[in-house]
């Protein structure tokens, strides 16, 4: 690893703040799945492609980006228009699409859910905010409610549940937390979109992947041995000590130190 931090040798907050400044820049975008929704300017296009790209975000980042771009092409380069207006026969073009264990059955259910949702709602933000109560300090209930709604249909395939995580199963919900970071966080750095303004960045939770976990443990920010939902809560709470209003901005530091400087 290129980074060096010895506990007690310098201030950990200053160390992480410096890493955020280095990695939270437009140079971060091209090699990251967030580059896919960045190719669109329409709100709903960004939501749809952000959701797709985040859902596919496991494995090599280059492959994730390529497959998310393929999905955009299958939707004629206009995701929102396609989602709302396509007909049953238009879904045949997706039958050959797959990404690791994400197969045609999963793709078809995503299309069904998104079409029904966008025919009744303007923004995907509501799918999360409708489940947040005034006393909620995190997005936990938003994730639980979204998962329940996503599969609230007798035809929802059981196999697809593994691709939309929920805290109710103890999952880290890494991909959904990453998607929410993209949509909710707003600063002047040009990476995250900050187009959803009804969820406070203070309620966001860290997208905990293997790289973030490794660096967090090395820096003493994560003690829980299991990599699960409680670990997400623990790490995020420790990051709140550095920035209570925007703890997830440190995702750039932990991920960047773990991957981009490996």
The answer on pLDDT for 260 being more than 90 is: no
The per-residue pLDDT for range 94-149, each reduced to its tens digit, is 999 999 999 999 999 999 999 999 999 999 999 999 999 999 999 999 999 999 99
**Quick one: pLDDT band at residue 1, thresholds 50, 70, 90?**
very low
What are the phi and psi torsion angles at 172 (to 5°)? -70, -20
- The percent of residues above 90 in pLDDT, for the chain, comes to 94
What pTM, to 2 d.p., does this model score?
Answer: 0.95
pLDDT of residue 8: 46
**Around Cβ 156, how many Cβ atoms within 10 Å?**
14
Contact present, 131 and 142 (Cβ < 8 Å): yes
Round to whole Å and give the CA distance between 90 and 20: 43
Of 176, 184, 182, 171, give the one whose Cα is nearest residue 252: 182
């Amino acid at each position: 690893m290129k980074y060096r931090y010895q506990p007690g040798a310098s201030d950990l907050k200053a160390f992480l703040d410096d890493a955020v400044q280095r990695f939270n820049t437009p140079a971060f975008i091209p090699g990251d799945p967030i580059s896919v929704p960045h190719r669109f300017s329409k709100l709903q296009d960004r939501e749809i492609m952000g959701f797709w790209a985040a859902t596919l975000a496991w494995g090599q980042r280059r492959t994730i980006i390529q497959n998310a771009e393929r999905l955009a092409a299958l939707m004629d380069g206009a995701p929102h228009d396609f989602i709302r207006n396509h007909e049953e026969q238009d879904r045949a073009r997706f039958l050959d699409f797959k990404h690791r264990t994400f197969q045609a059955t999963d793709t078809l259910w995503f299309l069904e859910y998104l079409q029904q949702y966008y025919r009744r709602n303007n923004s995907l933000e509501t799918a999360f905010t409708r489940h947040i109560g005034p006393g909620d300090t995190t997005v936990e209930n938003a994730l639980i409610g979204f998962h329940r709604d996503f599969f609230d249909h007798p035809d929802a395939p059981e196999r697809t549940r593994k691709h939309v995580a929920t805290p109710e199963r103890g999952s880290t919900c890494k991909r959904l937390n990453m998607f929410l970071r993209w949509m909710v966080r707003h600063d002047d750095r040009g990476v995250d979109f900050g187009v959803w303004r009804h969820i406070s960045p203070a309620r966001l939770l860290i997208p905990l992947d293997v790289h973030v976990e490794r660096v967090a443990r090395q820096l003493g920010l994560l003690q829980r041995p299991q990599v699960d939902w409680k670990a997400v809560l623990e790490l995020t709470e420790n990051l709140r000590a550095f920035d209570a209003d925007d703890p997830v901005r440190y995702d750039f530091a932990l991920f960047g130190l773990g991957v981009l400087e490996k």
